[in-house]
Amino acid sequence: MSHGNGSSAEPQLHGIMAEFEDEEAIISATQQAVDAGYKKMETYTPYPLEELMDILHLHKNKVALVILIGGIFGCIVGFFMQYYASVIHYPINVGGRPFNSWPAFVPVMFECTILFAALSAIVGMLTMNGLPRPHHPVFNVERFKYASQDRFFLCIESDDPKFEITETKQFLENLNPHEVSEVEE
């Protein structure tokens, strides 16, 4: 495998992955990994498990904040776009109303709010999920194809501060998994 610096080396380790046969086992293993001090880990399950979301604190994300900021920015853009057109660029006195007749601006401000919020949601979600990413290192593990069928996987990543290859592998093996695999980049 060739790296960007021009040198040739063995593939880097992404992490160590354990395969479990049922949801109780993955929930217990994930809780034990968190209790042991591991921070950088990911679980892969064929369906969402609320318990894992609680254990890994996945309920908190910044997408809602990005959408709010995008919506507010869109509202401001909608207002100033019309303000510029009605007051600065082409002021027309219609029926004695003021040039800055903001109630007339509300429909366009609303539409710009929705447009910018929706675009912010798409861009924010894709960015925060690290997408597009057509290939992930866990796809290199042969048995990972069962993650969408009936198996549960816990991967402790190598950039975890507590990660030591032998200790982490032994820790995962002590959780009674079906199999433990090294995940290469």
Sort strands 179-184 and 152-157 into parallel, antiparallel or unpaired: unpaired
Helices (H), 95-164: 106-128
What are the backbone dihedrals phi and psi of residue 183, each rounded to the nearest 5 degrees, phi first? -110, 115
Listing DSSP states for 48-103 in one string gives: --HHHHHHTT-S--SHHHHHHHHHHHHHHHHHHHHHIIIIIIS----TT--S--GG
Token couple for 45: 């399950």
SS3 of residue 37 by DSSP: coil
* Calpha distance 107→114 (Å, rounded): 11
> Residue 3: its pLDDT value, please?
46
> Residue 93: its pLDDT value, please?
85
**Secondary-structure breakdown of the chain: helix, strand, coil percentages, each rounded to the nearest 5:** 50, 15, 35
Block means of pLDDT (10 residues each) for the chain, 185 residues, are 51 93 95 96 95 90 94 98 94 86 94 98 93 89 92 95 95 95 92
SS3 of residue 157 by DSSP: strand
SS3 of residue 160 by DSSP: coil
> Residue 8: its pLDDT value, please?
52
Please identify which residue in the block is written with the tokens 């293993």: 29
Which amino acid makes up residue 61?
A: N
Token couple for 106: 């509300």
> Residue 60: its pLDDT value, please?
81
Determine the angle formed by the axes of helices 106-128 and 63-83, rounding to 10 degrees: 150
SS3 of residue 135 by DSSP: coil
